[in-house]
Amino acid sequence: MRGLVVRDNGAAPTIEELRLPEVGPGQVRVRIKAAGVCHSDLSMINGTLSPPHPLVLGHEAAGEVVEAGAGVTRVRTGTHVALNWAPPCRACWFCTHDEPWLCAAANVAALENGITLDGDPVHVTLGLGAFAEQVVVPEKAVIAVPDELAWESAALLGCAVLTGTGAVRNTARVSAGSSVVVIGLGGVGLSVVAAARAAGAATVIAVDVSTAKKALAEAAGATDFVVSSENLSKDVRALTSRLGADHAFECVGRAATIRAAWRTTRRGGQVTVVGMGGADDMVELSALDIFNSARTLRASVYGSADPDREVPELAQDVLSGALHLDHLITDRITLADVPAAFDRMSRGEGARSVVIF
C-alpha cells in the first residue's frame, strides 16, 4: 500500500510503497478514507519536533474497518471509525483520576506498529501514520462514528475539532457573556472560535497574521478580526472595554504568541495554550507581572477530553446541525498534494486541507 514518508530529517515527504503487518489479537485494519493535514504533521518535518526516521506522516483520519483481530469487541468489519492518536490505557494514575488525556501509556509505543519499507521497520506519527491507504492499529485507537457522517468530518473530529472544542468546554470552561481572543486560525483555532460562540461568548476576537483568515473567522463565528501586530494588546483592549479578554487561546505554539496571549488577557483572566511548541522556545514572564496580573496560564492537551465519549457526541452535533465544519475545510486534496498543503500552512493560508482517498 502507499503512504507518505519522510526518510530523513529535513527531507521532503515522498509517496512510498509500504507493507503492513498482519492483524494480531486486539488489532484492527482500517482503510483510510480521509485524513486532515495538521500542524503537528508539519512539526514532524520542519524541526519543531525531532522524530525518528523514516516516518509515515499523518494522524488525523477516518476510515472503514476492513479486518478485526481476535478478541476485538469495540468494532467489526464495516464499522466507520475516527482514529484516536492518544488512546488512554484506562489503568494508569491519570486515567483512574479522570484525566485520560494525560495517560502515561498512551504513546509508549506510538512510533512503532510493524510497518516496513523495503523490508526495514518504519516509524509512524503518533501511533497511526495515517497518510497511508491503510493502517493497522490497536482497537482502542479507533472510535465508531455514524455511517452517515461524512468521512472528512469524521477525520477532523479526531484531532482539530476535539482539541479546539475541548479547550473551550473542558479546559477553560468558557461561560456565556465572556470575552475571548483566539490567536492562530488554523483548523484548531477556528474550532476554538466556533466553540466559544457556541458557549455563548459575547465577544470572540480572532487574531492571525493573514487578513485572508478574516472570512474564515467570521464563518466560524468570530465577532471581530484583528491582524496580529505589536499593538495587539491595545487592539484587544479597545474591543473589551479597555480591560482585556476574559480568555485567551494560543493556537500557534510559539513563545512570542504565548506572551501576546498573556498581554491580551485582563487581570484575573485565563490563558490557555493549545498549540504545541518547541522544547527550546522559552517563555519569559515577569515575576511581578505574574503576581500582579493574577492571570492563569495553562495548557490544553487534546482538549482535556475523553475521546471515546466526546467524539461520538461531536459526531451527533454535526449530524444535528449544531456543529458546522464546512468552513474548516478549505482544500480537498490527494496524497501527492500534501507537501503543497504543508507549504500553504507555512504561509498561513487556508484552514484544513483534507486528503480524500
| Domains of the chain with bracketed CATH | 2-144+325-356 (3.90.180.10), 164-301 (3.40.50.720)
pLDDT for 19: 94
Contact call for residues 3 and 357 (beta carbons, < 8 A): no
Strand locations in 186-273, DSSP E?
203-208, 224-227, 245-250, 265-273
Query: Mind listing the pLDDT tens digit for each residue in 93-102?
Result: 999 999 999 9
pLDDT for 302: 95
Q: How far apart are CA 198 and CA 116, in angstroms?
A: 44
pLDDT for 114: 80
356: number of Cβ within 10 Å: 14
Helix (H) or strand (E) holding 54: none
Q: How far apart are CA 15 and CA 335, in angstroms?
A: 8
Q: How far apart are CA 281 and CA 43, in angstroms?
A: 14
Q: How far apart are CA 284 and CA 229, in angstroms?
A: 19
Q: How far apart are CA 247 and CA 175, in angstroms?
A: 10
pLDDT for 221: 95
pLDDT for 25: 96
Which positions of the chain have pLDDT values less than 70?
107-112
